Every structure is written in C-alpha cells, then in structure tokens.
Amino acid sequence: MTDARTNQRINGRRLWDSLMEMAAIGATPKGGVRRLALGPVDKLGRDRFAALCAEAGLTMRVDSMGNMFARRPGRDPARLPVLMGSHLDSQPSGGKFDGALGVMAGLEVMRSLRDLGITTEAPVELVNWTDEEGSRFGKSLMGSGVWSGVYGQAETEALADLDGQTVGASLDAIGYRGPEPARPFPADAYFELHIEQGPVLEAEGKQIGIVTGGQAQVWYDAVAIGQDSHAGTTPPEARKDALVCAARVIDLVDRMMRARGELGRGTVGQLVVVPNSRNVVPGEVRFSVEFRHPDAAEIERLAVQFPREAGFIARDCGIELHLTELFRIGAQPFDPACVDLVRQAAARLGYSAREIVSGAGHDAIYVAQHVPAAMIFTPCKDGLSHNEAESIEPSEAEAGAQVLFEAVVARANRPL
Ligand SMILES: [Zn+2]
C-alpha cells in the first residue's frame, strides 16, 4: 500500500492548464488577476470551479458565508471527511497562484483519485474559502474566520466595501449564500497547499516547505492628533506635527522589529495624513501597525513594550497618540501527525524540503482551531506575492500537488 502510493501520479499538465484557465478569469494586462471577493468576477470563478467539480463527480455544498465544499464519498460512510483547499479570491492586483494553487491542486487530487480508480476509506472534501484576502471588506480570512467562530456571521455580513455594499448583500447578489450555517463540522484533517509568498524556499533551493504553524501577531490602529497650522508662520516651538510623531513611531516599529533579529516582523503599511496639504502642518495622522513572530512570548512582550515606548515618543512630540489593539493571536501550531504526513510524502517522493513557519495568515490557521491541520508550501519566484508578477514553475505546482495527494490519501486511508 505504502509503496504503491508513490507510483500514483497526479497529472501536472492538467493541473497547469486548470491554473491557467482560472487565471484567465479576472486576468489583468500585467499578467495578474483581479477577483475581488464576492464580486462579479469572483462569481465567474466560483461558477467555473463548481462546474469543474461537477465534471469530476463531486457533490457541492455552500454555507451561509459562501464557503464551497465539494465532496467525494469514501468507502466507509462513518468516517469523518479529510478536507483540503484554499481560496479563489485575489488582491486587487494579485497574482495567479495565491490561493488558486491550493484549490486547483485539490481539484487535481480529486480528478486523479477518479482516474486512478482509488476509493479512499474516508470521504474527501475540497474547500474554496470565501474572502481570504480581506482587501474588499477589510477583514482577511473572512470565510474561514466565520466558519471557525472567530468572527460572528451577523457582524461580518454587515461589513461594507468602499461603495457601501455589504457582505450580506454581495452574497445574495452573486447567489452564493448557501443554506448551511457556517460553523465547524466534524472533520478528520485539513491540508492546504499554498505558495510560500516569501523568499526562503527559493533561496535554499527547496521544492517543498513543511509548514509547522503560523506566527503570533498583534495589530493596531494608531491615531496621532496634533494641530493643523500654517506651514510658513508656525515656528518650531509652536508646532504640533502629528506626522513627525508618526514618523518617529514608524521608526520605533522598525527598530523593535530589527532588535528581534531574522525572525522579527514589524510593519506600518497604511498612513493617512490629514489634511494632506503641502502647506499645512499635519494635525492628524492615522496609521496601521502590526508585529509578527513565531514565538508568542515575543508578541506578548511587544504588546507591552510598543504602546509604552510609542507613548513616550508622543509625549516628547506634544502629540496625543491613541492606539487601538485590533487583535492578538498566539502562534498556531499545526497538528504534528498531519505535518508528519507532509514530511513523509516529500521524503518518499524525493523532493528537497525544509520545515518552515508561515509568515502570512492562511485559512488553515483558523481551521486548525477545530480540525487537525497542516500546510504545504511551494516556492515562488523572488518570493513575490500580492503582485501581478507572482510566478511559479509548472514543476513546482506539480510537486506541491503530488505531496498534497499523498498526504490526503494517507490520511483518508489511515487505520483507525
Ligand atoms: Zn492566499
């Protein structure tokens, strides 16, 4: 049984063709994709995905958040399903593979099971999670977040995009509000294949990342309040320049990150200057702050040190600084048995591999709160993602999908 599995190959060519077919839906002139969650292009992608699942003999369920579950029955109806999947939505100028690789590789696993005449003991389900990216409604990991109980359905449905259209209205508009409640159902395992979105695997020439878990994170909204005044007449002593204060806090974020060495992550990615006029000393600046680290204890320390030191800076600047902690999550380790199936699959197939902690958020990290989970990473060119130039090789996609296939089949056939 174990030996035979290595001779069962997925169809890498068919996988690549499916990836390119999905990439054509919402294709951008620079070679990326734009499939904003729950918009008309996302609907096209979902409809195509549903049709491909039907062709592969799968039965589709949709839950109240628009999460899609395509099921292949197992031999033993009493067994819990083994889940695999990712997301089909993209950033506004996103790449072809972020999310789509995990979903289309899952489809390829299903097609290969059919072609190879394999009936697994447990059912297998392929998931397309709604709105992983969070770029339209401002909440990432939305579908898996509601499913796992991190976010409430009602509060999430009320979120609106910049045009005022809510999540709830968008679900109805594209016809993807399903009858099932979005909440955890019993499942045996969840596997997610994803591009690394970072440079480590490529730099080390590794084909497979064995993801052991996600990083701890803390996110803030910051508002610095000073006073608008005339740029030409306000002398240094009289200035209450909110942007100078923000700049010093941004430097603090960078210093606190660098003090933690190679594993440190600290970012200010959003900045709004009010009134944003070249001859007004800025009276208000709103900005985002986030820190990540694989060690939850470092995040706990940062959550104490950062507000304190930022407060000292603001006081020196004569500025009011309001920090709102948006959320703090501990490091989410993946299930050791599921991680081991990924490790064994990579070894059996002869792929070079290394263990890695996920730097980005992924649906698997929320799913892992309820279901034993693991992830597989594949390299991406120059570590580039959330960019239209995001690029992978067909052989890399095939290797990742083959590891996914092996891990899912091993789990679905495991002795109970
Ligand atoms: Zn993604």
Q: Give the model confidence (pLDDT) of 170-229 as tens digits.
A: 999 999 999 999 999 999 999 999 999 999 999 999 999 999 999 999 999 999 999 999
Q: To which residue do tokens 């696993």 refer?
A: 109
Distance of alpha carbon 61 from alpha carbon 127, whole angstroms: 10
Distance 400 CA to ligand 1 centre (A): 15
Q: What contacts 24+ positions apart, CB below 8 Å, involve 352-355?
A: 352/205, 352/206, 352/207, 352/208, 353/206, 353/207, 353/208, 353/209, 353/210, 354/200, 354/201, 354/204, 354/206, 354/208, 354/209, 354/210, 355/209, 355/210, 355/211, 355/212
CA 263 to chain CA centroid, Å, is 19
Q: Which helix (H) or strand (E) holds 357?
A: strand 353-358
DSSP symbol at 238: G
Q: How far, in Å, from the CA of 124 to the mean position of ligand 1?
A: 21
* Distances, alpha carbon 295 to alpha carbons 48, 201, 213, in Å: 41, 21, 11
Distance (Å) from CA 343 to ligand 1 centroid: 22
In angstroms, what is the span from residue 115 Cα to ligand 1's centroid? Answer: 28
Provide φ and ψ at 333, rounded to 5°: -75, 145
Q: How remote is the CA of residue 351 from the centroid of ligand 1, in Å?
A: 23
- 306 CA from centroid of ligand 1 (Å): 29
Of the pLDDT bands very low, low, confident and very high (cuts 50, 70, 90), residue 6 is low
Q: Measure 283 CA to ligand 1 centroid, in angstroms.
A: 37
Euclidean distance between CA atoms 112 and 11, whole angstroms: 7
pLDDT, one tens digit per residue, over 64-106 is 999 999 999 999 999 999 999 999 999 999 999 999 999 999 9
Rounded to the nearest angstrom, the distance between the alpha carbon of 24 and the centre of ligand 1 is 18
Nearest Cα neighbor of 46 from 100, 88, 97 is 88
Per-residue pLDDT band at 359 (split at 50, 70, 90): confident
pLDDT at 3: 44
pLDDT of residue 327: 82
Facing residues of 190 across strands? 83, 373
User: How much distance in Å is there from the Cα of 374 to the middle of ligand 1?
Assistant: 15
